[in-house]
Structure 1
Amino acid sequence: MTEQIRTPQGEKYPALLRILHWLRAVLILGLIACGWYMTGRAEHDPVAGFLYPGHKQFGLLAWLLALVHLVLRWRHQATLPTTPAALKPLEKLLSHGIHRLIIALTLLTPMLGYAMSSSLTDGDGVPFFFLSHVPEILPKNDEAFAAFQMLHRYSAYILLLCIALHIAGTVKHRLQDRNGETDVLPRML
């Protein structure tokens, strides 16, 4: 096997990681939009009632894809693009911090959603596509449900903020940094 030479210009993430990145981006933004819609509607709204099972299923899918993402990043560690050397130290710190938060929150937010659904006393469980229900491991407790509901909501807000910062950083480096040495968007296209 020949050793791959990596240069700052032209580096790309492996194709599978790029596909997974964009798939997860659409999925997570869709889940957040769906969550906003559902929670802003009356309890017996037929559209919201239709969306809840899908939100739960796709939330579990987002969690599974986050796990796959971590495994693939670990397996492809040696071939991942390096951080552009032209980034300022603060930009590197922010970039790495935001990426780590996004990864952590894409694991945590769905887990909190599962815990919320699993702990609701009169809840209908957590379906997952071909399974009628995912096993519920938490005891039924409406006080725990309320706590998980709040944590799920705020973790989704923080995740959305991190995504906005991630996009803002990408746009800044794409449009404002004229030398092109810090343009990281082509690495993910």
Structure 2
Amino acid sequence: MTQKLKYRQFARFTHWAMAVLVIGMLVIGFLMIQEAVGRSMKNFLFITHKNVGVLLLMLIAARIAYRWLHPPRLSPVELPAMQKLAARLTHIGLYGFLLIMPLTGYIRVRAGGFPIEALDKLGIPAFVPRSNELADAAKVIHFYGSYAIAGLILAHLSAAAFHGIVRQDGIFSRMWPPIGK
């Protein structure tokens, strides 16, 4: 395929890297709040979740900046108006929640007075004040946001499967493979 039919390599790589990390974060987030999980495992999961969240925030910022600086110039694919609208809204929702989730996680942790080990090691101070009310509000948004992003991911995966398996119209191929041509 020519470059006009594919996203650029950086966009494809960050898409798939973030997909793996976000799905992993959803699993970790679910496991770390289970009563049956032992304290030492919970501590490991919480530390992992916080620090991977920082990485995801950096990746989504880089991805948005890259997309703004290098807008995709792909050959059009004919789609019904409702599918175009659904795709647009799903992508807006995904980008929105890819920002909301690490930001609310950061606010919940820092306002709650907890460390983010990677940032602490680098000497980066908290950018939010210590506040139980703020931490609780961010926790609620973060919790329900996990269901929203999971639903958006499911919609995105379903559409990708539909285009890749049923329609075979080249839309899935635009983002695959993650590396290479």
Deviation at 1:188, TM superposition (A): 0.6
**Is the Cα contact below 8 Å between 2:93 and 2:152 reproduced in 1?**
yes
Q: 2:141 aligns with which of 137, 142, 151?
A: 151
TM-score (norm 2): 0.88
Following the alignment from structure 1 to structure 2, what is the Cα–Cα distance between the partners of residues 48 and 80?
45
Task: Find the counterpart in structure 2 of residue 172 from structure 1.
Answer: 162
Q: Whole-Å Cα distance in 2 between the matches of residues 133 and 48 of structure 1? A: 25
Aligned partners of 1:127 and 1:134 also within 8 Å: no
Contact 1:115–1:138, Cα closer than 8 Å, also in 2: yes
Q: Please, which of 10, 19, 24 is the counterpart of residue 25 of structure 1?
A: 19
Larger Rg: 1
1:91 matches 2:107? no
2:74 to 77, 81, 105: 81
Task: For residue 62 of structure 2, give the secondary structure of its aligned residue in structure 1.
Answer: helix
CA RMSD of aligned residues (A): 2.1
Which consecutive unaligned segments of at least 5 residues does structure 2 have?
177-181
Equivalent-residue separation in structure 1 for 2:36 and 2:129 (angstroms) = 27
Partner of 2:172: 185
Q: How many residues are matched?
A: 175
- Which digits, 9 at most, give the CA deviation of each residue in 1:123-171, with x for residues without a partner? 4322227825642122222222221111011112111110110000111
Deviation at 1:20, TM superposition (A): 0.6
Q: TM-score, normalised by structure 1?
A: 0.84
| Residues in 1 aligned to 2:96 and 2:66: alpha-carbon distance in whole angstroms | 15
Give the letter aligned to residue 172 of structure 1.
F
* Equivalent residue for 1:103, pick from 71, 91, 95: 95
SS at match of 1:102: helix
Task: Pick 1 or 2: higher relative contact order, CA cutoff 8 A, min separation 6.
Answer: 2
In the alignment, the residues of structure 1 paired with residue 123 and residue 42 of structure 2 have an alpha-carbon distance, to the nearest angstrom, of 19
Q: In percent, how many aligned pairs have the same letter?
A: 25
In structure 2, C-alpha distance between the alignment counterparts of 1:33 and 1:47, rounded to whole Å: 14
Q: What CA distance in whole angstroms lies between the structure 1 residues aligned with 2:90 and 2:75? A: 16
CA distance in 2, matches of 1:45, 1:34: 14
Letter in 1 for 2:6: K
Where in structure 1 are there 5+ consecutive unaligned residues?
Answer: none
Q: Which has the higher helix share?
A: 2
